[in-house]
Amino acid sequence: MLTDTIKLKNLVTERDHICGSADAPVTLLEYGNFECVHCGRAYPIIKEVQKRLGNNLRFVFRHFPTVRTHPHSVRAAEAAEAAAAQEKFWEMHDQLFTHQQALEDRDLSRYARHIGIDVDRFARDMSENTFLKQIEADYNLSVFDEHVTGTPTFYINNERYTGATEIESLLIAIKHADTEGRIVLPEKTGLRGVLGRFHGGRKE
């Protein structure tokens, strides 16, 4: 039985956090939460997919912090935005996902120092909640326009991806979305079991 494809309503714009070539044939978009354990498990998988596909994949990250279940998620999102204001979003993104168990304000300040941004400006943005309204507005768009209910939620070329969050499934889905035929995968990815502990598509 065929199921209706869920389309992304709020398309990618210059305001999004984008990693990869603008002319990549496929865009992978994640609605994520820096405190979500399943996003944490997906993080190294996405990194590996990016590494394997290179310029053939564009990756986009959008915040979906859920305070009731993840009390540090909004502050972590604010930290990422404060870093983005200094052109270091992806560096902070990596710090937050690799240190999910340490997301107190003092930890966020330490990551700011580690990635080499202006810590005084970072501290001011955090204390003044400079980016909170925008994060909240984007969250509302995610809920009411996209009907996102948990994380991670993925879209591949503006279509909701509902498969497993593991390397082979993602690679196959991304290749299928490549209408230009630029992506060539080996017959066997050789990845089964390598990241087995990260496999699984549960959401929070």
pLDDT tens for 16-65 read 999 999 999 999 999 999 999 999 999 999 999 999 999 999 999 999 99
The residue ranges of every structural domain in the chain are 17-198
Q: What is the CA radius of gyration of the chain?
A: 17
List own/partner pairs for 128-131 with CB under 8 A and 24 or more apart.
Answer: 129/78, 130/78, 130/81, 130/82, 130/85, 131/77, 131/78, 131/81, 131/82, 131/85
Return the number of other C-beta atoms located less than 10 Å from residue 203's C-beta: 16
Q: What is the pLDDT of residue 192?
A: 47
Q: What integer pLDDT is reported at residue 187 of this predicted model? A: 73
Report the CATH number of the 17-198 domain. Answer: 3.40.30.10
pLDDT in tens, 80-103: 999 999 999 999 999 999 999 999
pLDDT at residue 203, rounded to an integer: 60
The pLDDT value recorded for residue 194 is 42
pLDDT in tens, 172-202: 999 999 999 999 998 765 554 444 433 444 5
Express each pLDDT in 61-80 by its tens digit.
Answer: 999 999 999 999 999 999 99
